Amino acid sequence: MASEKKLHTIIIGGGTSGLLVAQGLKKAGLPYSIFEQETSTSYQTRPREWGMTLHWGSEHIAACLPPELVARITETYADPSVPPDAVTGLPVYNGKTGEMLMNMVGDRPCRVSRKKLRNLFSEGLTVQYGKELAEVIEEGNQVTAVFTDGTKATGDVLVGCDGARSKTRDFICGEEMAQLTTVPLTMFNFTQQYTAEQALHVRKLNPIFATSIHPDFGAMFWLSIQDVPDPDKPETWVFQLLMSWMNDPLPKAEDNDEGRLAFLKKRSEKWAEPWKSAGLWVKEGTKIPNDPGTYWERAAQWDNRKGKMTLCGDAAHPMTPHRGQGLNNALQDSSNFVSAIKEAASGGNSLANAIDAYDKEVLERGTLEMQISLKQTIFIHNWETLMASPMVKMGMRQAKEPASEEV
C-alpha cells in the first residue's frame, strides 16, 4: 500500500485481536509496535487453556492475515481432522432426559484453540513480551505508552487490545467508567482427559460440542473438544467442560478445588449421558477454577483524544460467554480498526474522523451484543425462560439493530 502518511500504531495486548491488528497493518505496509504483558515463557505455558467458537467472524480474518496464513487456519481448529462443514450448529439438550431441544444455528461453527490461534496470528510478527502498561500519555499529536519496566513507546495512535480487564480502558475512560459489572454467575471452566473408551463416550453426540440445560437446577453443562493430538488415539484428546448457574454460589468453605470437584461430581449424578459420566470421570486432584461472569455495563462513547487512543476486542465490549460472540466481534473490530488506519494513512480521512467512525460502530455493535449475551446468560439458566432466550430466536448469528426485533 502506498501511504501518504506512515501512521505508527501502538498495540497494547498480544491476544487474538492485537495480533490480527498487527498482521493487518503489516499487510498494509503500515508501522506498528505490539506489546504483551506476559513474558514469552508464560504466554506459551499458562496452565489454563480453552477453546472459542468461530463462526460469522471468520470472514474478517482474511482481510488482515496474509494468504499463506489464511490457508493454514485449519491448524487452529480444536480438531483439524473434522471438516469445517461437519456441524451446522450447537446441539442443546435437556440435561435431565437427554432429549435434544434444538440446534443453535450458526455460520459453519467450529471450535478453535486460543493458543493455536494466537500462535498462527503471531507468525512473522515481532511481539515485545513482559511489557505491563503503567501509563498512557498524550503528547501533542502523538501518544506514549509507558511500561512498568521504565521503557516507553511513542506513536500516532494507541489501541487497547488487552482484554476484558483492560488497563488501556482505565486510562482512556477513567477507572470508574471502565469498571466491570459482575453477574451473579458461577462457572466451572476446565479441561480434562479420559481413557480411550471414556473419551469416545463423552464425544459421542457431536464431534465438536454439545451443551445441556438441566430443568431441576437451572444449570448448563457444556462439553467440547479442546485438542486432538492424535485422532486415532482418544486417550490423547483434551476436552473442555463448563458447568454454570445463576445465583446460589458455593459456600465459601467449599469454594476451593476440592469442594468444587465434589460439587461437580454430586451434581453430575443427576445429569443424562454423556454429561453424567463426563463429570463423574473427572480425575481426583483436578483444579477447577470458579470464574465470574462480567460485562461493561457502563459502556459509553469514550474520548479518543482526536483519534489517538481507542479500544478493540474484549477491551471494548467484555461480555458473558453463553452466546459465543466474543471472538467473532473481536475479529470484526480488528479488521475495522485496520481499515480506519489505512483510510487515515492514505489521506482519505483524518485520523480523528476515521477513529470516531470506528469507535461509534464498535460501541453500538458491542453494547448490543453485551446486552443480548447477558440476556442469554440469564435466560438459559432458568427453565421457564429458556425457550425465550436469544439462542432460540437468533441462534449464534450476528446481532443486528434494532435489538427489540432480535431478542
Give the 3-state secondary structure of residue 15.
Answer: coil
- For residues 20 and 331, is the Cβ–Cβ distance under 8 A? yes
d(CA 277, CA 296): 36
Residue 405 confidence (pLDDT): 39
Residue 4 confidence (pLDDT): 65
d(CA 306, CA 313): 20
Residue 107 confidence (pLDDT): 78
Pure H helices in 281-383: 326-345, 351-380
Q: Provide the pairing of β-strand 238-246 with 152-155.
A: unpaired
Burial class (CB in 10 A: 0-12, 13-18, 19+), 253: exposed
**Cell matching residue 270:** 443427576
- The domain spans of the chain are 9-83+106-181+295-381+398-406
Residue 298 confidence (pLDDT): 97
Degrees to nearest 5, angle at CA 166 with 39 and 107: 95
Degrees to nearest 5, angle at CA 146 with 339 and 22: 25
Residue 406 confidence (pLDDT): 42
Residue 3 confidence (pLDDT): 44
d(CA 212, CA 215): 10
pTM here is 0.94
pLDDT along the chain (407 residues), means of 10: 75 98 98 96 82 90 97 95 86 96 85 95 98 96 97 98 97 98 96 98 96 96 97 97 96 96 98 98 96 95 98 97 93 98 95 98 97 95 91 80 45
Residue 234 confidence (pLDDT): 98
Q: Provide the pairing of β-strand 100-105 with 89-94.
A: antiparallel
d(CA 378, CA 387): 12
Give the 3-state secondary structure of residue 218.
Answer: coil
Query: Which residue bears the cell 504483551?
Result: 36
d(CA 58, CA 317): 18
Which CATH number applies to 9-83+106-181+295-381+398-406? 3.50.50.60
Residue 397 confidence (pLDDT): 77
**Cell matching residue 11:** 498495540
Q: Provide the pairing of β-strand 219-227 with 238-246.
A: antiparallel
Residue 407 confidence (pLDDT): 41
d(CA 36, CA 57): 23
Best CA proximity match to 372, nearest among 393, 341, 352? 393
Angstrom distances, CA of residue 215 to CA of 94, 100, 377, 385, 390: 7, 13, 15, 11, 18
